[in-house]
Amino acid sequence: MRELFDEVSGKSPLDPEEAVRRTTGGPRRKRFYAHAGVVDAPDGFAITLDDKPVRTPSGRPLVAPNREIADAIVTEWDSQKEFIDPLTMPLTRLANSVVDAVADQVEAVTDDIAKYLGSDLLFYRAGDPEALVAREAALWDPVVFWAADALGAHFILAEGIVHVRQPDSAIAAARAALPADPWSIAALHVVTTLTGSALLALALLRRVLDSDQVWAAAHVDEDWNIEKWGVDEEVAARRAARLVDFRAAGRILKSLNSAAG
C-alpha cells in the first residue's frame, strides 16, 4: 500500500490539489483485506488491516493521536469497495502526511502557514460593487477584529490587489497562536492552503467560526461570481475535491480540540 499512497501524496504531502492531479488516471488497486482495526500503540492508536499494522509511504506505522481519529481512519478503509480509492480517504492521506513529513518538521510547516499572514485573503477587499463589499465585510471583519482583540494581531486592510506590507508585530502575534503539535499544524496547513487564509484557519482552530462558516468566508468572491454568471462545472468539481480535504482537516482539529477540553 505504500506505493498507492505515494502516488496520492504528490511532491508536497500537504498539497491535496497536487494529490488529485497525480492520482487522476492512475492504476486502481484491488481491496486485499477483510477488515480494518485499531490497536493501542505507545504514541497513540495504530491502524491495522487484518490485524497487521498499516504503514505510511515511508514505512512508518500509521498511528493516530486519539481513538476518535483512529476510528475515522478505520471507517475510510472499511468503506472501500472492490477497489481502493485514496481520494475517498482524506483522513488517511493527511495521517500519512503527518507521520512522514510534518512530525519531523513542525517548525517549517508553521513557517509556511505564517507566510500567508503577510498576504492573507481577508486583507484584500473589493472596491465595488457595494453589495460585494458589504458581503466581504460581513464575513471577514469579525475574524480580523477577533485577531486584533484576542491575539493582539493588528493587520492592515487594503482595497484591490496591490500588496500591502503587514506589520511584523501583527504577523508575530498571529504566528504565536499556532499550535506546536504535528497533527494540529498539519490540519491547519491544509485549511490555510485551501482557503488562502491563515486567519480563517486560526479562527477554526479557536472555534471562532465553524467549518461551514470558514468555507463560506473563503469563497465569498467565487460565490458572488456564481450568482452573477452561473456555475462552471470544472471549477465546481475542483471545489468539491478541495472540500473533501477541508472537511477532513476540520474534523481532525475538532477532535483534537475536544480531547484537549
Asked whether residue 110 falls in the same domain as residue 151, the answer is yes
Q: Enter the C-alpha cell of residue 213.
A: 462558516
Identify the helix (H) or strand (E) that includes residue 47. Answer: strand 44-49
Asked whether residue 136 falls in the same domain as residue 245, the answer is yes
Asked whether residue 68 falls in the same domain as residue 151, the answer is no
- Report cis status (omega within 30 of 0) of the bond before 16: no
pLDDT tens column, 188-221: 999 999 999 999 999 999 999 999 999 999 999 9
Q: What percent of the chain has pLDDT over 90?
A: 85
Please give the span between the terminal C-alpha atoms of the chain, in angstroms, as a whole number.
35
pLDDT tens column, 48-63: 999 999 999 999 999 9
Place of cell 471507517: 75
Q: Enter the C-alpha cell of residue 55.
A: 504503514
Q: Does 73 score more than 80 pLDDT?
A: yes
Tell me how many domains the chain contains: 2
* Residue 8: per-residue pLDDT: 42
Q: Which residues of 108-121 are buried (b: 16+ CB within 10 A; e: fewer)?
A: ebbebbbebbbbbb
The whole model's pTM is what? 0.90
Q: Helix, strand, coil: what percent of the chain each, to 5?
A: 60, 10, 30
CATH at 142: 1.10.3580.10
pLDDT tens column, 236-252: 999 999 999 999 999 99
pLDDT tens column, 12-57: 445 544 544 444 456 789 999 999 999 999 999 999 999 999 999 9
Asked whether residue 77 falls in the same domain as residue 122, the answer is no
Range of the structural domain that residue 88 is part of? 2-102
CATH at 85: 3.30.2180.10
Asked whether residue 163 falls in the same domain as residue 77, the answer is no
* Residue 174: per-residue pLDDT: 98
* Residue 11: per-residue pLDDT: 40
* CA gap 63, 47 in Å, rounded: 6
In sequence order, the β-bridge partners of residue 164 are none
